[in-house]
């Protein structure tokens, strides 16, 4: 079941990214009012799945989503401070189906994972990889996307594949699978944990680390925004993204049904296509 093939060295899957204005703001902003920039899907009102009254949520009538909006194209903020991205629009579409108002709480990634475990948010949607360790402390919806851990290096680096990371300083985002894999494979001393992928990439630009290990889609966005960096062809690992919830969350069935409908009617794919252009 678990699809994480560590160090699977797959050729980087061909997803290129639409030219997006990247405005990932600094990591640890406090909760921000939820305003979704452009939700293609939100006009489709609640159709099936569940009526609002039947669902028990952290805040009545609301679907509270914890995220870390420094992770384009899944979640980021516009210059105007509005949230946008694949997870934001997919969550909006799910909330619509459930007849709930989407409330977005932006925080550090590790805090977002904890938030559902502590009953402060109904869901964490943040390009969250399903892992056995996380499954021990939270529940996951069905998967809605595939993630790939990639390696970013400066042009001209002698690091040509994930194996070459041995003996190097590696930047990662705190609490992510990138951090976990790298510490497992290369030791804690080799890995530096940053607040966000963006700050890790800034450290790479400043020569404080030799490489950054991060999910492929944001890696491409960061590299597009930072001349002189590149993403290695060879990937580090393949993963599944899913929506995280508290253990035995009462929302699990409703969320999975909504997700299934959004997959079946093409809404999810349309959201992905809006942010990621196939090569």
Binding site residues, ligand ARG, CB under 6 A = 68, 70-71, 75, 109, 126-129, 147, 173, 176-177, 215
Distance CA 189, CA 259 (A): 40
Residue 168 has a CB neighbour count (10 Å cut-off) of 18
Q: Between 66 and 246, whose beta carbon lies closer to ligand ARG?
A: 66
Q: β-strands 62-67, 101-106: how paired?
A: parallel
Q: What are phi and psi of 254, to 5 degrees?
A: -65, -40
Nearer to ligand ARG, 55 or 259 (CB): 259
What is the smallest separation between the CB atom of 239 and ligand ARG, expressed in angstroms? 6
| Contact status, residue 96 vs residue 45, Cβ threshold 8 Å | yes
Q: Based on CB atoms, which residue is closest to ligand ARG, 75 or 185?
A: 75
Nearer to ligand ARG, 71 or 236 (CB): 71
> What is the C-alpha separation between 158 and 150, in angstroms, rounded?
16
The size of the chain, in residues, is 279
Closest separation in Å from C-beta 45 to ligand ARG: 28
Nearest-approach distance from CB 26 to ligand ARG, in angstroms: 13
Contacts with 101 (C-beta within 8 Å, 6 or more apart), sequence order: 61, 62, 63, 95
Nearest alpha-carbon partner for 186 in 201, 171, 197? 171
State the minimum distance, in angstroms, from the CB of residue 214 to ligand ARG: 7
H-helix or E-strand spanning residue 245: strand 237-245
> Nearer Cβ to ligand ARG, position 50 or 65?
65
Cα 144 to Cα 53: distance, rounded to the nearest angstrom: 26
Q: How far is the CB of 42 from ligand ARG (least distance, A)?
A: 21
* 49 or 176: CB nearest ligand ARG: 176
Query: Which single residue is written with the structure tokens 């997700």?
Result: 259
């Amino acid at each position: 079941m678990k699809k994480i093939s560590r160090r699977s060295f797959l050729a980087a899957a061909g997803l290129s990214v639409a030219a997006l204005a990247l405005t990932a703001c600094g990591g640890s902003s406090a909760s921000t009012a939820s305003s979704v920039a452009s939700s293609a899907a939100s006009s489709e009102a609640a159709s099936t799945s569940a009526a609002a009254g039947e669902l028990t949520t952290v805040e009545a009538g609301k679907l509270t989503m914890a995220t870390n909006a420094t992770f384009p194209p899944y979640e980021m903020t516009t210059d105007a401070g509005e949230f946008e991205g694949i997870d934001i629009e997919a969550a909006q579409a799910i909330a619509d189906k459930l007849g709930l108002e989407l409330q977005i709480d932006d925080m550090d990634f590790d805090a977002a994972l904890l938030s559902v475990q502590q009953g402060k948010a109904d869901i964490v949607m943040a390009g969250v990889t399903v892992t056995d360790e996380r499954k021990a402390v939270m529940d996951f919806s069905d998967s809605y996307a595939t993630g790939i851990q990639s390696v970013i290096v400066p042009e001209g680096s002698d690091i040509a594949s994930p194996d070459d990371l041995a003996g190097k300083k590696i930047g990662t985002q705190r609490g992510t699978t990138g951090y976990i894999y790298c510490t497992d494979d290369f030791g804690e001393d080799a890995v530096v944990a940053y607040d966000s992928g963006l700050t890790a990439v800034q450290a790479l630009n400043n020569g404080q680390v030799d490489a950054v290990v991060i999910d492929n889609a944001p890696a491409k966005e960061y590299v597009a925004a930072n001349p002189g960096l590149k993403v290695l062809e060879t990937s580090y690992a393949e993963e599944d993204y899913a929506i995280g919830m508290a253990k035995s969350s009462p929302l699990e069935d409703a969320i999975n049904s909504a997700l299934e409908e959004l997959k079946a009617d093409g809404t999810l794919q349309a959201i992905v296509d809006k942010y990621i252009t196939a090569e």
